[in-house]
Structures are given as structure tokens and as C-alpha cells.
Amino acid sequence: MFFLKIFLLSMLIAALGWVSATENVITCFGRVQRLSCDTGFISVQSAIYGRTDSTVCSAGRPHLETQNTQCSSSVPLISQRCNGQSACEFKTDDLGSSDPCVGTFKYYNTTYNCIQARLSMTCEGGYSTLDCGNNVIQITSANYGRTDRTICSEGLPSRLTEDTFCFAPDTLTSVVSRCNYKRSCVLEATNAIFTDPCVGTYKYLAVSYFCRPAVTSVTCEGKSATLTCESGILQILSANYGRTDSTTCSAGRPVGQIKKTDCYATNTQTEMTKRCEGKTSCVVPATNSVFSDPCVGTYKYLTAVYSCVLNEGFAFNRLASDSAVKNNREKYHF
Ligand SMILES: *[C@@H]1O[C@H](CO)[C@@H](O)[C@H](O)[C@H]1NC(C)=O
């Protein structure tokens, strides 16, 4: 039983953690739209109201109402209502969308992913690294304590593992402040960080999280970078105005202008944060007048890595952690 559980757990950790296939749902105006994920949480990629196709939602409609296929407007309300939930549905005529093309019969076209949580388990006294590569960590639940007899129990006397109602109250806050929106973080399962919620019990740190996609934007010197979020607000993860390779933005440039590859404007991240963070979009010129010139004579470019995040404390975080905890408890007794 114990080995089976560990085996399943490692299979789970290996298999999950990335976005699963993209789903698309079309709903004619007035009907009910339902988004759902068998496992994981909804993350809406786009939600469009209008008509870009003449055949869908055309049955029984006069020709005139289906011929305009240049009509679309985005519906942020759908991501606000559905992101972070495992299922959500609504009647489309209750959404109150303003009419982007009067006289055309419209439909809702929503594209979403199901984001899968990863689990990390660390036995008391150990360390673990959460790593999302180029993406960023979003914590959905965390507990330091014990809710299961078998996890982190090998070779221990049973009195150390029998209390399975053990929770350190500030685990989530502490893990969020160490890891959220970072590319990787190291966690230590210790009383010194989380306090001891059940003296005499051998504990473990259980964390579930997912990797939120991040975007890389590259803009050659003299042009302007446009950073945009369809849902959420901009968070700058890293940025540099300068040159770190000889191929990016090199077309038609003399060798002398592209051979220096260790050029960094140290104020880039601060400047980008000031101009972009917390907004839904921003335009920043990739010029010396914005960042000053870190390497005179070199043709430079602006690189910005950013993510679209929802405001901390926003419904998303709460819903995501509720459903993650529920899913994981049910499936893995965690
Ligand atoms: C729905 O939206 C997606 C993404 O924007 C688009 O590729 C697709 O063609 C749309 N489908 C219809 C029927 O409008």
C-alpha cells in the first residue's frame, strides 16, 4: 500500500504540472456555456463575443444575420468568473456584453486550458526545489503537518505518524511569500520556519502549485515594445536593454555593432516595472533615452520576460486553492 502510494505519487508528479490540451467552446447567444476541467483548473486564453464564421449558429437564421464575419469583441468577464475553477457555466444572455455588431446573430467563442497542479512532498528536515523553468510558480495550497499516515513514515514507530489532523496555520502565507511568481524556489520542511503544530509527530510539507506561462518579448533598438495581458495585469520577471548574443536584431548590421554580447543596462528591470507593472498593457521605446546607453556603438535590443497575473487576493487565488485542496484530498488523501 505504502509503495503503491509513493509510486502513484511519483507518477503523478512526473505526469502533471503542465498545461493540458486547449479546449474550445462555441455557444450561440442565449444558450448556456459550460467550461470544465476533469482535473486541474480553468485558465481562459480568449473569450470572444461576435461572429467570425458564417456557418456556426446559423441554423434557422436569416442570411443577413450571419454574413458579417468581421465582428468580435473580447469578454473579460468570462475569465473573471471561470479562472481557477474546475467547472463553470453561465447563460450567455446574462453576461450583459455590449453589442459589437447590431443586426448580426452572435455567439460566444471561448478557448481555455486546464492547468494541472504539481505536488511536492518534503519530509520534516528535508529540502525541496520547486522549478517552473521559464514559467512562474503559483502556489495553490500548502500544509506543514500531517494528514496521512503513510507519507513520510518509512521505518518510523507508529506513534510518530498517528496524528493525521496536524496543520501549521501560516504555511500557505509563508510558502506564497517565498515562491509565488518566482521561476524556482527552495523550501525547507522545518519547525523553525513553520512552527510546530503537533509536537511529537513526524511532519511533512505538502505543497501544490502550477506553472503559469510567461511571455518573452524582444524589441530591436529604435522600435517600441508592447506588453499586453488579455486577462490579469503585467508582472515583469526580468528585463534587459543591451545585447547578450550576436544574432538577435542583427539583420543588416555591421559586425562592429553586434559583436559585443555582454551589454546590460542595469536599470532595465526597474524602469520596466515602473512603466508596466500592474497595467494591462504598456508601450516602452527601446531607446537610449529611456534606459541610457550601456554600450556605445553597439546596436541593442530590449528583452522583457513577463507574466499576466491576477491581483493577489483576487478570487482566482482563493478558488484555485480551494479546488486544488479538494481535488488532491479526494484523490491522494493529502
Ligand atoms: C474561435 O476563436 C478561435 C481563437 O480566436 C479561432 O481560432 C476560431 O476560428 C474561432 N471559431 C469560430 C467558429 O469563430
CATH of residue 23: 2.60.120.740
Name the residue among 26, 16, 23 with its Cα closest to residue 42.
Answer: 23
Do 271 and 207 share a structural domain? no
Distance 68 CA to ligand 1 centre (A): 15
Do 163 and 85 share a structural domain? no
User: What is the full per-residue pLDDT of the chain (334 aa) written as tens digits?
Assistant: 444 444 444 333 333 444 567 899 999 999 999 999 987 788 888 999 999 999 999 999 999 999 999 999 999 889 878 877 788 999 999 888 899 999 999 999 999 988 888 899 999 999 999 999 878 888 888 999 999 999 999 999 999 999 999 999 999 999 988 988 778 999 999 999 999 999 999 999 999 998 877 788 999 999 999 999 987 788 887 899 999 999 999 999 999 999 999 999 999 999 999 999 989 999 999 999 999 999 999 999 999 988 887 643 333 433 444 444 444 444 434 3
Instruction: Examine the fold and report which residue of 115, 142, 168 is the final residue of a domain before the chain moves on.
Output: 115
Do 153 and 88 share a structural domain? no
pLDDT at 182: 77
Do 44 and 104 share a structural domain? yes
CB 220 near ligand 1, within 6 Å: no
Do 138 and 128 share a structural domain? yes
For residue 24, give the ligand 1 atom closest to its CA: 1
Instruction: Examine the fold and report which residue of 115, 148, 175 is the final residue of a domain before the chain moves on.
Output: 115
Do 111 and 23 share a structural domain? yes
Q: Which domain holds residue 218?
A: 214-309
pLDDT at 327: 46
Do 284 and 265 share a structural domain? yes
Q: How many CA atoms lie within 13 A of 312 on its CB side?
A: 9
pLDDT at 310: 62
The answer to whether position 3 is within a domain reads: no
pTM: 0.52
CB 287 near ligand 1, within 6 Å: no
Can you tell me the distance from the alpha carbon of 321 to that of 38, in angstroms, rounded to the nearest whole number? 16
Can you tell me the distance from the alpha carbon of 122 to that of 103, in angstroms, rounded to the nearest whole number? 59
- Beta carbons of 228 and 156 less than 8 angstroms apart: no
Please choose from 49, 52, 106 the residue to mutate so as to test ligand 1's pocket, defined by most ligand atoms within 8 A of CB: 52
Do 54 and 135 share a structural domain? no
pLDDT at 9: 40
CB 19 near ligand 1, within 6 Å: no
The answer to whether position 281 is within a domain reads: yes
Q: What is the residue with the minimal CA distance to atom 10 of ligand 1?
A: 109
CB 52 near ligand 1, within 6 Å: yes
End-to-end CA distance of the chain: 15
Distance 36 CA to ligand 1 centre (A): 18
Name the residue among 205, 207, 211, 142 with its Cα closest to residue 182.
Answer: 211
The answer to whether position 137 is within a domain reads: yes
Q: Is the dihedral angle over the CA atoms 135, 141, 145, 147 positive or is it negative?
A: negative
The answer to whether position 203 is within a domain reads: yes
DSSP letter (8 states) at residue 64: G
Report the domain count for the chain. 3
Distance 109 CA to ligand 1 centre (A): 6
Q: What is the residue with the minimal CA distance to atom 14 of ligand 1?
A: 52
Do 139 and 72 share a structural domain? no
CB 53 near ligand 1, within 6 Å: yes
Can you tell me the distance from the alpha carbon of 41 to that of 119, in angstroms, rounded to the nearest whole number? 15
95: how many CB neighbours lie within 10 A of its CB? 16
Beta strand ranges found along the chain (DSSP E): 22-28, 32-36, 41-51, 71-74, 87-91, 107-115, 118-123, 127-131, 136-146, 166-167, 184-188, 204-212, 214-220, 224-228, 233-243, 263-264, 281-285, 301-309
Instruction: Examine the fold and report which residue of 115, 141, 161 is the final residue of a domain before the chain moves on.
Output: 115
DSSP letter (8 states) at residue 310: P
For residue 48, give the ligand 1 atom closest to its CA: 2
